[in-house]
Structure 1
């Protein structure tokens, strides 16, 4: 792949993500949520890039919003890359949830 094609691919890609929040609240109210989505396109940052993850959690009797920037690209041995996030959801029903997630590789079949 030429450098120009690789640069275009780097700029014009996104990642899927899927995860679960950590537990919040106590007693019978103790629970977590699941979430999934597709990131924004790559946002250049120095010699790397990041993405924005924006989604909502699944609903029990409430939902939480997630809107965070990923870390910069972490390159794997095969030339693909992932991004990591450690953050918290929005507050809803009097609480928020911490979560950690790694994006999936972009275009895994290409």
Structure 2
């Protein structure tokens, strides 16, 4: 996996990941979430993380939000994914846990 963090041109997008998933069920409902991560954030010369921000779908009169970061890259062949294991904010007196993996970086290989 080659990553180039030397580029500084904010007009160009270098790499992000899609994600989608379900928030863990509470007593009577669950939520869905989907989105695109932020740009790669280097954590050392060989690895990176991504900021994850989402608002869930609207169910039972409310939604939930999450702002956090992914794990480092998890190599899958010549591509990679990221993992997130966390909790949403508290809304309507409760929160939801969730575990997500991002979709593959550059799945078409172009």
Shorter-chain TM-score bucket reads 0.7 to 0.9
Alignment match, 2:81: 82
Which aligned runs of 4 or more in structure 1 are off by greater than 4 angstroms?
Answer: none
Structure 2 equivalent of residue 20 of structure 1: 22
2:100 is aligned to 101
Aligned-residue Cα RMSD (Å) equals: 1.7
- Structure 1 residue 67 displacement after superposition: 1.0
1:9-88 equivalence runs, <5 A: 12-24=14-26, 26=27, 30-46=28-44, 47-60=46-59, 61-77=61-77, 79-88=78-87
Structure 2 runs not aligned, ≥5 long: 8-13
Cα displacement (A) at 1:66:
1.3
How far 1:107 moved relative to its partner? 2.2
1:106 Cα shift?
1.8
Aligned length: 100
Where structure 1 has 5 or more consecutive residues not aligned to the other structure, the ranges are none
Of 3, 24, 40, the residue aligned with 1:7 is 3
